[in-house]
Copies of this chain bind each other. A is one copy, B any other.
Amino acid sequence: MQEFHHGALDEIVHELVTMSDAVQVAVRDATRALLEADASIAERVISDDARIDTMHDQLEQRCFSLLARSTPVAGELRTIVAAMQVIADIGRTGDLAAHVAEIARMRYPEHAVPAPLVPNFTRMSQVAQEMVGKAGRTLLERDPDAAAMLASEDDEMDELRSEQFRLIASDDWTFGVEAAVDTALLGRYYERIADHAVAMGGRIIYVITGEAPEGEDWPTT
């Protein structure tokens, strides 16, 4: 057993921020592919997701090696375990961005999202990107207050999703069954991206304070 290397842990945290930046870009580009019906951007997001998955696997392995090769004390152990969970959250967020791009690609050259829902999805994507970005920065800055704010930002995401359901269920919905299904699944993907950002916030609070946040705002994943 070697003494614990703080440098190795700091490096992992920096790589995690790089990974969350890549995922934030994936969410932005997937949304552009979706709203502009751009198949080439969609293809790029989907192929880039393989790179994010590779980062996921490598970072997970590095955390494991760090656990195996040294004797971290409680605070360091918390950080490594939380890092492994955050790696899973960010990896999953990348998968969800790729799912958005897959719907864009499937409907090309048509637009998957009907025109009246474009502002809603534009805002959903902005909220998702902001939340992923904030979760990444919070990790670096170890700011529990910023991490806690992620749960309240998630409320806007829930409201945007409710608005989608109201429109789909209304008499104004003239876009058919297929567009309704696409909208419901896309809304679900963005909602899950926000959930993962909230979960990341919760894990960061745990690292800093040693206590998990309480309450139903904090999803198990």
A118 within 8 A of B: no
Cα(A53)–Cα(B176), bound, Å: 38
Is A173 within 8 A of B184, CB to CB? no
Instruction: A67-B77, A85-B88, A91-B220 given; name 20 further pairs at CB < 8 Å.
Output: A1-B71, A64-B81, A68-B74, A88-B221, A91-B221, A92-B220, A92-B221, A95-B220, A95-B221, A168-B178, A168-B181, A169-B177, A176-B177, A177-B177, A180-B181, A181-B181, A181-B184, A184-B185, A188-B188, A221-B221
Cβ–Cβ < 8 Å partners of A177 in chain B: 168-169, 173, 176-177, 180
A134 within 8 A of B: no
B-contact 0/1 string along A66-100, CB 8 Å cutoff: 01100100100110010011001001100100000
Q: Which residue of B lies closest to A175 (CB)?
A: B177
Cβ–Cβ < 8 Å partners of A56 in chain B: 220
- Min CB distance, A63 to chain B, in Å? 8
Cβ–Cβ < 8 Å partners of A91 in chain B: 220-221
A8 within 8 A of B: no
The copy count of this chain in the complex is 2
- Specify which of A1, A165, A177 lies most central, judged by the most chain B CB atoms within 10 Å of its CB: A177
A-B contact pairs, 24 of them (CB 8 A): A57-B212, A64-B77, A67-B67, A67-B81, A71-B71, A81-B84, A84-B84, A85-B88, A88-B221, A91-B221, A95-B219, A165-B181, A168-B177, A168-B178, A169-B178, A173-B177, A177-B180, A180-B180, A180-B181, A181-B181, A181-B184, A184-B184, A185-B185, A185-B188
Is B81 within 8 A of A220, CB to CB? no
Cα(A180)–Cα(B181), bound, Å: 6
Cα(A178)–Cα(B167), bound, Å: 11
Q: Which positions 1-48 of chain A face chain B at CB distance < 8 Å? A: 1
B-contact 0/1 string along A116-133, CB 8 Å cutoff: 000000000000000000
